[in-house]
Amino acid sequence: MQDKLNTIPLENPDDSRCRGCTALCCHNLTLPAPPPATPEALQDLLWRLHFDTVRLCIIDGNWFMIVSGRCTFLGDDNMCTIYETRPEQCRKYNPPFCERYMNPYEVVFHSPQELKDYLSAQGALPA
């Protein structure tokens, strides 16, 4: 099947770099989350990090919020069930430029304390 996410056809069909992947790219909702410039913005980001499904990260100097979950269109076989009509955002994920083959994260914050410690060390705690 050449129209499924985990069997993206490459020059050599046996070299499909998605094959065997658990579809990591379909388990993270990544949204822009600007770095906190005010105490209120900091409180907002700290609040988000109270949830165990939320992380913040920095990629190429840009801040994002990652919400862990599973796309409802991901099949039990870890293949996209709407591959032909998948959203544009999904089309940006192609191996090897994806979580399976590279670590794009400069920093990942898992907790409010990690974020506070980072900003404090950077001298970037908003006042």
Under the criterion CB under 6 A, does residue 21 sit at the interface with ligand SF4?
Answer: yes
Helix, strand, coil shares, percent, the chain, to 5: 30, 20, 50
Strand, helix or coil for residue 34: coil
For ligand SF4, which residue of 5, 42, 49, 56 counts as binding (CB under 6 A)? 5
Under the criterion CB under 6 A, does residue 95 sit at the interface with ligand SF4?
Answer: yes
Q: Is the dihedral of CA 35, 67, 25, 83 positive or negative?
A: negative
Q: Which is nearer to ligand SF4, 82 or 125 (CB)?
A: 82
Residues in 57-86 at the binding interface with ligand SF4, rule: CB under 6 A: 71, 73-74, 80, 82, 86
- Strands, E, within 3-127: which ranges? 28-32, 54-59, 62-68, 107-109
| Contacts to ligand SF4 by CB under 6 A | 5-6, 17-18, 21, 23-26, 71, 73-74, 80, 82, 86-87, 90, 93-95, 98-100
